[in-house]
Structure 1
Amino acid sequence: MAAPAPVALLLLTAAAVAAVAPAAAELPRLEHHPHRGDDGSVSLLVVGDWGRHGAYNQSMVAAQMGVVGEKMDIDFVISTGDNFYKNGLTGVDDKAFEESFTDIYTAKSLHKPWYTVLGNHDYRGDALAQLSPVLRKVDSRWICIRSFVVSAEVSDFFFVDTTPFVLKYWTDPKNSKYDWRGVSPRETYIANVLEDLEEALKQSTATWKIVVGHHAIRSVSEHGDTQELLQHLLPILKAHGVDLYLNGHDHCLEHISSRDSPLQYLTSGGGSKAWRGVQTANADKVEFFYDGQGFMSLRLAAAPAPAEASLAFHDVAGNVLHTWALAKPAARY
C-alpha cells in the first residue's frame, strides 16, 4: 500500500529534523481521511511492546488483531512503542524489522497505516533507523516520527515522544546506552515538545482529542506512574480537554479514570511478553486491569449526535475482557 505523497514528505522532513535539532517549531501533521462516508467514524487498534520475532504469543496476538480488525473494518493501527526487543534496531537493514513486524502482522485487515512512537527499548538501538523513510520502502505501513499529529476528522491524535522525559535513562549507569542523537540536551528537547504539543492542542477543533505516548501517566503495574509525565505532561492534557491517553510500557492491559477530569488512561502494552504479576494502588480509579497479553480496539464517532467513543480490551484468544463507552454532548466540543 503506497503512502500518499504528503505523508512521505512529512516523514522525510521529520527524519531530517530529528537528526540535527531537538525539536521542530511545529509538530508534523498527517491527514488521515476515514474511509466511511456516512458518519466519518474512525476505527482502530492499539498495541504495544510487541517486537519479539513472534515469540511470547506475539503471533497469537497478531492473529486476533487481524480478526478484530476485519470485523471493525479498521482505519489504522497505533503502536505505543517498544517496537523491537531487546535493544531496538541496529540499522535500517536490520532483519528484525521484517521478522518482528512484516512477517507477523500479515492479516489483510492490518495492512493499514501503523502510526508509531518510540519506546525506551527502541532508544537502546539505532533510534534514527526507525524514524527513517527507508523502512517504508520495506513495508509501506510503517509511519514512525518522534512526536506528531494525525488528524482523522472526528479525532486528532497527538503522538508524544516520552522516553527523553524519564530522567533515569539519562543518569542511571545500569541503563544501556541510549541513542540521544537529535534529542540532547534533554531540558531543551522536553520544553520544545511540550510547547509544540500545547500549541497543537489549542489549535485542535476535533471532537475527540487523544494523546499517545509510550510511558504510562497512571499505571498499577510494574512500572507504575511516570513521575516526569505527571509533572510536565498531565497538566497540559487536563488544561486542553484531552479525552484519552494511550500508552504501553507496562506489559498489560488497563483502564484508569481520572478522579478530577474526564481523562481516561488506557494501557495497551500486551503485544508479547507479559504476566508480570503486579497490581499496585493508584490515586485515580482503576476500572480494569489484566496482567496478560492482548490489545485494545477503539471506535470514535461524531455523527449523528451525540458523539460516541467505545473501546474494548481483547486477550490473546480474542475474548473481550472489558468495554467502556462515552457519549459526549455537543456542548463539550
Structure 2
Amino acid sequence: MASFNRRMLFLVIFTASVFCFWANPSVAELPRLKQPAKAGDSLSFLVVGDWGRKGEYNQSLVAKQMGIVGKKLNLDFVISTGDNFYEDGLKGVDDPAFYESFVDIYTAPSLQKQWYIVLGNHDYRGDVEAQLSPILKGKDSRWICFRSFILNSGTVDFFFVDTTPFVDEYFTNPGNSTYDWKGILPRQAYLSQLLKDVDSALKQSKAKWKLVVGHHTIKSAGTHGNTVELEEQLLPILKANDVDAYINGHDHCLEQIIDSESGIQFLTSGGGSKAWRDNVKPWNKEELKLYYDGQGFMSVQITETKVDLVFYDVEGNVLHKWSITKDLNAAA
C-alpha cells in the first residue's frame, strides 16, 4: 500500500509538472519533474543504454542483473541513455516492441520504478512522437520520456538533453536511414533554443550536484569516439556551469573518463545489449579510468557529499568502482 501511495503521489506531481509546462511555457523552457529522495537526500539509481533488442544480445541477462543490484541498493529510479528500440525506433504507440523490449524484459520488482529516458539516434529512425506520447505511460507507468527535461531530486539536479539533432551526419549523409525530424525543424533554431535553455537552467540551479544526461558521447575512446558537434556546442556550457558529470550511451561499452582540464566525469553506459569488442582507441591513461567493451550497466549512489559509481558486467560482476567527494559547505 505504501508503494502504491508513493507511485500515486509521483503521478500527481508528474502530471502537474507537465501541465504547468504546457500551460505556461515561459515559466520553464524545459519540462521540470521532481523525484523524491530518501531520508538524508540520498539517491540510488541505475544507468543503462542501447538496450532495445527484444531480449536478444544478452539484453535479458543484463536486465536480470539490474534487478538484483537494484534490490540491494533500494533503487529510486532508472536512467536510460537512449537507443531504446532497435533498429528503427517504434512504428507507433501500438508497436509490440514496447512490450517485447521494455515491459516484458525489465520485470524485476526492484525495476518497477520510474524510468527517465532520452532518445537516441536509432529512436529518431522511427516514430519519435510515439516514444514521447503519454499513451506509453498509460501502458506502463514507469515510462517517462521527453526530448529534453530537468529532474530535481534532493541535492541533485539532472539535465536531460536531446543530442541526436546536433549531429550533422544524420542530416547530410543519412545513408539508407530515414530520420523523424518533426518538431526539430528548423534545426538551427531548435538547437539554439535548447542550448540557451540548458545554459539558463544550469545557471539557475542551486543543487549540490549537477548531472547532464544525453545519448551521444562527448568524450569517448569507443567506436564512435568524441561527438565533435557536442564538444563545440554543449561542452563549453557544461564547463562554464561547473557540471559534475555527463552521462551517455551511444558507444556500446562501459567507460569513465575524467577530463584533466575541467574535472568533468564523462560516463558511458551503453552496454544494455549488443556490444562491440576490442574497439578502444588510444587515450590518455591519466584520464581513462575504465574502458570495458562489453555488456553491462552502471549504478550511482549519491549523498550530499559523495557520489559512488559502480560498473557491472552482464553477469553482475563489479568491473570498476569510483567515488567523488564534495565539501559539505562548498558553494553550489
Normalised by the size of structure 1, how large is the TM-score? 0.93
Residue equivalent to 1:298:
300
Residue equivalent to 2:315:
317
CA contact (8 A) 2:52 2:273 kept: yes
Quick one: distance in 2 between partners of 1:12 and 1:56?
39
Quick one: distance in 2 between partners of 1:236 and 1:138?
37
* Amino acid corresponding to residue 256 of structure 1 in structure 2: I
Quick one: distance in 2 between partners of 1:257 and 1:25?
31
Question: Is the partner of 1:216 in helix, strand or coil?
Answer: coil
* Amino acid corresponding to residue 207 of structure 1 in structure 2: K
Unaligned ranges ≥5, structure 2: 1-6
CA contact (8 A) 1:15 1:132 kept: no
Offset of 1:25 from its aligned partner? 6.0
Residue equivalent to 2:287:
285
Residue equivalent to 2:258:
257
Once the two structures are superposed, what CA deviation does each residue of 1:62-97 show, in whole Å capped at 9, x if it has no partner? 000000000000110000000000000000000100
| Superposed counterparts of 1:94-113, under 5 Å | 94-113=95-114
* The one of 9, 27, 30 aligned to 2:33: 30
Give structure 1 regions of 4+ aligned residues with deviation exceeding 6 angstroms. Answer: 12-17
Between stretches 171-180 and 320-329, larger displacement belongs to 171-180
Offset of 1:175 from its aligned partner? 4.7
Offset of 1:331 from its aligned partner? 2.1
| Superposed counterparts of 1:1-333, under 5 Å | 1-2=7-8, 3-11=10-18, 26-34=29-37, 36-37=38-39, 39-282=40-283, 285-302=287-304, 307-329=305-327, 330-333=329-332
Quick one: distance in 2 between partners of 1:97 and 1:293?
21
Question: Is the partner of 1:299 in helix, strand or coil?
Answer: strand
Gap change, CA 1:14 and 1:227, over 3 Å in 2: farther
Quick one: distance in 2 between partners of 1:113 and 1:179?
26
* Amino acid corresponding to residue 296 of structure 1 in structure 2: M
Once the two structures are superposed, what CA deviation does each residue of 1:37-84 show, in whole Å capped at 9, x if it has no partner? 2x1101100000000000000000000000000000011000000000
Offset of 1:9 from its aligned partner? 4.6
Offset of 1:230 from its aligned partner? 0.2
Once the two structures are superposed, what CA deviation does each residue of 1:218-275 show, in whole Å capped at 9, x if it has no partner? 0101000000000000000010000010000000000001010120000000000003
Offset of 1:24 from its aligned partner? 9.7
Quick one: distance in 2 between partners of 1:175 and 1:219?
26
Offset of 1:207 from its aligned partner? 0.6
Offset of 1:8 from its aligned partner? 2.7
Offset of 1:276 from its aligned partner? 3.3
Offset of 1:186 from its aligned partner? 1.1
Aligned alpha-carbon RMSD (Å): 2.0
Quick one: distance in 1 between partners of 2:164 and 2:76?
27
Offset of 1:12 from its aligned partner? 6.6
* Amino acid corresponding to residue 235 of structure 2 in structure 1: L
Quick one: distance in 2 between partners of 1:57 and 1:173?
28
Quick one: distance in 2 between partners of 1:64 and 1:223?
26
Gap change, CA 1:173 and 1:308, over 3 Å in 2: closer
Question: Is the partner of 1:217 in helix, strand or coil?
Answer: coil
Quick one: distance in 2 between partners of 1:133 and 1:58?
25
CA contact (8 A) 1:246 1:267 kept: yes
Normalised by the size of structure 2, how large is the TM-score? 0.93
Quick one: distance in 1 between partners of 2:212 and 2:22?
21
